[in-house]
Structure 1
Amino acid sequence: MAPDTVGGGAVTLALGHASRWPRTPSVFVVKASLIGLLDRREPLTIVRGPRGYGKTSLVSHWVRSLPDEVSVVWVSGRTAPGDDAGPVPSLWDLVADSMVGSGLLQLPENGASGRTEVIHALASSQGETCLVVDDFDQVRDPRVEADLLDLLRRFPGLSLVLCMRDVASVETVLAATIDSVVIRPIDLLLDAQETYELAERLGFTLSGDDARALHLETAGWPALVRAILTNGASPHPGRSGIAIDLQAGEPFLQSVWTELTDRRMQRLIVRTAILDEFTAASAQLCSGLRDVGATLQLLVGSGLLMAERFQDAVVYRYAPAVRHACLDALRRQDPRQFRVVSRRAAQTHTAQGRSATALALLSRASLWEDVAQLVDAFWVELVAESPDEIAAAVAAMPSEVLERHARLVIARDHLLPLHKPAGDPADHSRSHVLDLAAVGPASVERREVFALPGVAEAMEQSLAQIAILRMTGDFMAARVVAERDHDAVLLQVEDLRNDVRDELAPVLHEWAVTRLLAADLPGALSAFREAAELAGEHHHPAIVREASVGAALACAMLGYLEPAEAWLAAAARAPVGYDQDPTADKIVATVRGIVALERIDIEAAVGAAAFDVPEEAGEFWALAAMIRAQVALFDGSHFRVLGEIEAARVDGGVPGLREALLVAASVDLNLAIGHFSRARTAIAGFPQSYEITGLARARTEYFSGEFARAVDVATRWLKTRIYAPANRLDFLLILTGAEHARGRRYEAAVALEEAVAISLATGLLRAFLKVPRATLRDLSTEVPRIAAILDREGLADAAELFPAPTASAQLSEREREVLESLATNASLAGVARSLYLSSNTVKTHLRSIYRKLGTHSSVETVERAWELGLISRPE
């Protein structure tokens, strides 16, 4: 009998010595925790995981470390192509044959069964024997499990290691009757550091972020990590930041896919891959299968699917790379079914209140009529929360479909330009100067201010169209004449029925309130303005007053002080004769308080501090909290307001607008009381997609002494479309202070000159208390007008709101990472491991840090970093 093939059936992979055991990959990450489990040498050890999870490599590596007195017998249950010349040998024949090769058993006599010979060999053995059965789930003999249990009970010196891909009764039944260890798929997965180590051994030096991204996309599947790296790029030892092609892993995933013989499982996988996460009910809807519970459990057991329990439901998800590969396969192989599955998945997400996700799914499947229906049904929600998804759909949609649907035409021509993501380059084709008619009531005298670039005209036209459509349902009633002269589109509504026009003001006011509650101040301002004017024309005094008050609040928070006062005056002129909303009176007091605060009239600013709404109001409550935080900088109530904000953030953490507002308020309060490290912790890792968080980041860098970083952040944001003069003024003054601290007087003076111009146009003064007065006075030679501003009543005697910036060292990003790791690791080796660096590299960074901080030891360095706010002190 040949050593590698028995009768044309199964393969005997190894005999008794290491040279005949399966080869351990030269590039292999050893998981010490798993080696420890194997070292326990329980009577039964089960190692289960899909193909490519490293089961065989792990056990092969481990058996090589066993003492010489332990005899290892290794066989595989996987069968080779059949041979009609003879029967396929049983598992016991394979084990007996391996024992012969290892010297544990003499050649069996004719007629003796393999099981009998194995029992004889074990009974006569004086030492310990470890039997490894790879691919155990390929063994089809139903009696094997009972026979194995019998052997384990009869021979104390025998230990059994079974490697398998799928859940079998040996794990659920046999392991429950005897001492055992079970290593499951989740145990075999690599963590982020092990992913980094594997890449490094393959010749790729990844950055920490790249390693974490690769781990996230693959869920730590070892063979998939290998496939993506080795198929997608060439290694560059010593170079980081390589581009990782996740599609490079698809050939490996396809090979795994071909081994799935269960067609029901295949169907479930491809039809649920459309979903980023799903429940059993969602899987049933998308797959069309009646009972998916057992299949889901098999997928979870095999490691292809991950499950987490949230409250009363179990949520399933695939590794992103697996999901994308299955999705592409379905799109290529069965486009019709791909559309069916996409439609079902969209229905599932819509039922869960995730209309934006549903929109993306329908767009990806080119189901354009479904897209139009979804936009019609969830228009307000999608425009308010997911304008980018609508933009993507409109950009890809065929024009013949788009032009049959009114709201999509609106999105294409009018509304979407106003919802460019924060941070996009500004539209320099438009003027940055508008007159007060764009923000104040029509009766206000026109004069130039630093205002919203091009927002008012387009938003007002869009809102009018929205209102008409909602009232009539007939797009033709709102004839649009496309006269594109200087990007202006004129909406013709003169031929609308009078009763419809009479209802435009209430609809626009409704929209304006929605925008205000979503903290979209520019959108709210334009909508309130239009609603107030229409309400005046059609005799809705209640809406005139409420819309005027809403416009006043939006103006005040954006930094338009005179228009805010003009709107309050318009509200006061509104005819009486209806029950006035008491909330409006509260907002009137708040607006007056904000205006007084910006003009540094502290006694009159008490109304701003009283601005409070129920926390259930979401973003609107966060706006109110942010205003109270600004008042706290003057009245000394820092800790009380900070406590309220931090308590509100406990259950949050989602990087949306509400959390962004609270983070920005927390940063200002922490900086004001000198807690630089806490301010940095609050803003660290938060997406910089909002002006307010960009401002918080720039201010934190400035007051922490990281002047170059402050300049970078402020400069990047100043190149974008900033709708609020108050925010632009803040960015300019941070840029002024940071450039001055770097010795760049010319750049500082240019920024300060623009800041002064904004202040003179709007009356904003409070921002000048957020940078050291000495810095501003020092630039009065280059910017003479700053002296007059600093000497104004209120500003001249007011205290600065923040401590002077610390003259901290200008640490590089890597030096800061080393410093943060040093604070939590007791040794240089620990720092090196945590950052995936060599010890010599860590020492080089430390020498640079010592020099910059003027310290001489790691302990002294960490203490100094805490004092300067460069790193967070442990709680």
Structure 2
Amino acid sequence: MSLSAVPRAGVGVLARARLVAALDDAAPLVILHAPMGYGKTVAMAQWARGTAHRGVWMRVRDGGGEPRPFVQQLAAQLVDAGLLDDGNPLRTAAETLAVDDDPWGLLARGLRRRPGLIVVALDDGDRLSDATVRGLIDLLADVPELLVRVTVRRASLFTEPSLAVLVDAVIVGRGELSLTASEALELTGDSQAADQIVAGGGVPALARMLTLGDVGASGANVEQAARSLLRLRGGNWDDAFVAFLETVAVADALDVRLAEAISGRSDALRLLETAEAEGLGSWETPGPRDSTAVFVFSPFLRLAAEESLRRERSRPEVREIIRRVARWELERGLAFSALRRAAEIDDASLVDEVLRRHWNELLTYRGRLTELFAHVPLLALRTRPLVAMVLAIVANASGTQRLRALEYFGLAIYGARMQRASAPPADRVLLRAIETTSYRVSGRSGALAAARDGYRALQEMDAAERDRLGRNEPTVYNQIGTSLFYGGLTADALDCFRRSTAVSDAKGLFAGLQGLALTAGTLAVTGEVGESREVIDEALSRAWPERWVDGYPGSFLQLARGFSALEGGDPDAADAAIRILDAHRATIEHWPLLTHLDVLIALARGRVGSAHAVLANALRTQQARHATSELTLSRLRHTRALVLLAAGDAAGAERVVAKDKDPVRRGVSLGRIALAAGDVEGAVRVLQASAGMAASARIESEHLALTVGALALGGTDPDGARRMLDRLAVVLEQRALLVPLAMVPANALEAIAEVAGDPDVQQLIARAGRIGMIPATRRRVQLTPREIAVADELTRSETVAEIAAALVVSPNTVKSQLRSLYRKLGVSSRVDALRALAALDLPGSEH
């Protein structure tokens, strides 16, 4: 047994059993620490090929030294090695780490899921950041099944004297890595040369150099000696081979095809095999003649070659070589390394191509992305919308750089707008997706127009054009659909979300899971809860990357689950679903919907004060965010009106919604306010004014429930009220809704219960009453003493003549006083007046 992906042994490599034994120590951490040239990689590879343990050899990639990309790379190698079962969370590490802030927790959970010891051999550990080293050390303490072996050149946290306090560690230093006299003799076959090697510090790389020719090197300066390798013009190396090395070793790794392309040598395979024989690098498995094989150069050769290349070649030549290396890395999926090289030579089109193809994966690098483009002036970002968008997402995710994020979003909008006119269809759609996302998240107007244009373009594109969107196609559907949803175009939004899921399923991607979540949430928010529950069940039956279900990608799924539970009459279950997202409230764009559901849950529990506090806290926390589309503002206004009405402030609630631009939603809120006050005539008036207008299933259901409440409370047509109630019951059952009925004010809900005939309908009303949200309000109406007297007599007398006789006034006087009384009560009949009087506190009256 051996580790997976161990480099192939070079020709004539000295076997060093004592170092293999040191690496075989039972300690969880063994570090090989020495400068370049001491054979650390060779020794660890010898051990890795013969160990009885299972695990992976890992060469830390360019940019992979931070925790997220490091864990992502390690997870990918564990998957490639077949060391993870299908349910292991590390199988979807890239997707999880795009949204998760705890890479070490993910790695620990994944490693614990597999049986037995597992070894990770880390070559070139100097590329790891301090944060990553600390994370690894902590991980070793938490996961006893893990063994780590690492090579480092420089002093670091791996070599701190106090390391033993945290973890059982063995450090194999320069002295142990130096060649002994017998090893030097075995390597050179010359006792005089062996003595010279030992006297020079026993450096294996120097031993190799001395066998090639006198380079004037000593153990005190191995790196300088390494650079002299490329200045040799004798021995086994000719000028052509040196020139080849200068060119190809600029890459961390490469295959034969790339070596041929950048060197112009058709015999690149032979030259790479020569480099292997000279100890300058090794082949990653499989063998060199396999088309997928990759040659990895020794670190000191890369350093020497790149320095020599930049010194000996013109800038255009160097730029072209780096571009070809970057394109090769892009095709191999080495996204960050390709992006770094493209940024280094300022190749904007290549930078855009890398971002377009590996958008989500690159978000894992976060801070490194910011560093990579730190030199780009803000004005230059006006022509680089993809770069601006990535920087905006990174800044927005931090929670502390909101203003900088808004600045980047603005630049992304400008750049996308300037470029899209001349862009091919796929790029135009991508630019529109950038625009609409930037507009929406930054709260600027324009999100809906960009989304509608992007949606039309998607519909007009053929399959081949859509394929150019690559792995981003479902994400484009999700972002455009989200803007359509917030713009009120629900049917188009749902079409986008469903297409996202279909495309992802066909291509084996995960973004379609977010499409499922968005579908479920949209259906629940708009009132199609029965259909939403079917989508929720499908979504929960799927395997999600860790932290997606309870993070931004799954936020609409939790929203859907919350609405579903509340519509089932269970505010506690609704609260449990929505609390899952608390960690993301500071940065999530869906906070108005989450806040609205929070308010409904609090009202359903009878906690009006809590509802007020939840809303006030959300508005205070989010006031720096400007994600305030008109539809969002409308939702927030009506949420606030609900809280005010539940607290008894009908006048305040009316002021909040009176000027809302949505006639149906405004009519529903004003009708609810009127009903709570017992003003049946006013409720009927505003509800009739908005009847028949297009609205969501939820708003239509609320409108119908309030209309039934007005009919029942009016009391003039109980049969009509009962027929409309039966219709309402059917609608609510079809849509699996309960909340629209629970939002009918208590006095009207009681009146509805009085006219209900069907036992099932009575049970429905009882369930709604248990989570009833709006109590009846008691208006204070200022009446004159004579009006109070008329009101008092109205409860006892049937006719105007009887009231006039009782009060000793003329019938005309009574009629005049009744008109004034009805006007102040907002009613038009004796029956309505009696109902309104029962709900009032009248100054100076006992009624």
Q: If the length of structure 1 is used for normalisation, what is the TM-score?
A: 0.36
Name the one with the larger helix percent: 2
Radius of gyration: which is bigger? 2
Higher relative contact order (CA 8 A, sep 6+): 2
